[in-house]
Amino acid sequence: MEANYRLDVRGKACPMPVISVRNKLKEMKKGEVLEVITDFPASKDNIKRAATRAGHEVLNTEEENGSFRVYIRKK
């Protein structure tokens, strides 16, 4: 999937990944897509939940070699 921005939060413990995603989404323009890479399943779920609560669209989640990629469209 094509993304405008990539944010790698592998190795970071909660709540840092969610805070990093929120801060990046604030900088982005409406309609742009953020790819978030994490290696912690709970972070993946927390990122998706936080993005949805903030009104953004979670487009896709992929798992590859122990890492997760979450794609979020800013609304």
Per-residue pLDDT at 9 exceeds 90: yes
Per-residue pLDDT at 73 exceeds 90: yes
Report the CATH number at residue 11: 3.30.110.40
- Active-site residue, selected from the candidate residues 3, 14, 37, 58: 14
Quote the number of domains for the chain.
1
Q: Residue 51: which domain range?
A: 5-73
14 catalytic residue (yes or no): yes
Q: Report the pLDDT value the prediction gives residue 59, as an integer from 0 to 100.
A: 98
Tally the C-alpha atoms within 13 A of residue 10's C-alpha that lie toward its C-beta.
11
Q: Which structure tokens are listed for 28?
A: 């982005």
Q: Report the pLDDT value the prediction gives residue 29, as an integer from 0 to 100.
A: 98
pLDDT band at 14 (very low <50, low <70, confident <90, very high): confident
If you average pLDDT over every residue of the chain, what do you get?
A: 96
How far is CA 56 from each of CA 1, 21, 25, 29, 65, rounded to the nearest angstrom?
A: 17, 11, 9, 12, 27
